[in-house]
Amino acid sequence: MKKLILGERETRAGLVALALPQLAIGAWALVSPRRWFDNFPGAGNHWLPLYGAFDEHLVIDVGSAFLALGVLLVAAAIWFDRRLVIAAAAAYLVYQLPHAIYHFGADEVLSSGDQVANTIGLGLALFLALGILVAELRPVERGGAGRSSPTAGAAHSATAPSRPPSSGRAGSTSGSRSSPS
């Protein structure tokens, strides 16, 4: 099977789609913690006060974590190294799965329309991250059919060693170029 679900373009787009909300939410929480808490998710909705009292320390920590996760997802989309994509998708799922489970059981404080919107948004994000992870964990095909990355063609393990880059681009650990074997 050449393509499970997601090819390179779809995977990169999926990583960016997961990253953008994290970056926006994180930046908003860091720049204006109280306004973020009082007005999230925006568009006239005010969800967070329904779950409990404002805690600036918690908002700063959560905003920083959102921002860090967004940066990791963007880095994976840009550099597109197989192991980095796997790590970014796994990190997103480590965050999103407990977050979604909490909301699936605690959203009775929201209006029914907001419950539906939140459930759909959280579910779609989970499925996208899981799809990216599954697509990247599939065995890498040899013979040029797969995407070009330092790990393409390596053993079928996320722990397989990377081949040195074939060009003298930044990130090379060696000043000399490797000849293909």
Q: Which of 119, 160, 116 is nearest to 140 (CA)?
A: 160
Structural domain spans, the chain: 8-137
For residues 155-166, average pLDDT: 41
Would you say residue 84 has pLDDT above 80? yes
Predicted confidence (pLDDT) at residue 151 exceeds the cutoff of 70: no
Banded pLDDT at 21 (limits 50, 70, 90): very high
In the chain, what percentage of residues exceed pLDDT 90?
70
Band of residue 154 on the pLDDT scale cut at 50, 70, 90:
very low
Helix (H) or strand (E) holding 45: strand 45-46
Backbone angles phi, psi at 5, to 5 degrees: -135, -45
Output Rg (C-alpha) for the chain, integer angstroms: 20
b/e code 77-96 from CB counts within 10 Å (16+ = b):
beebbbbbbbbbbbbbbebb
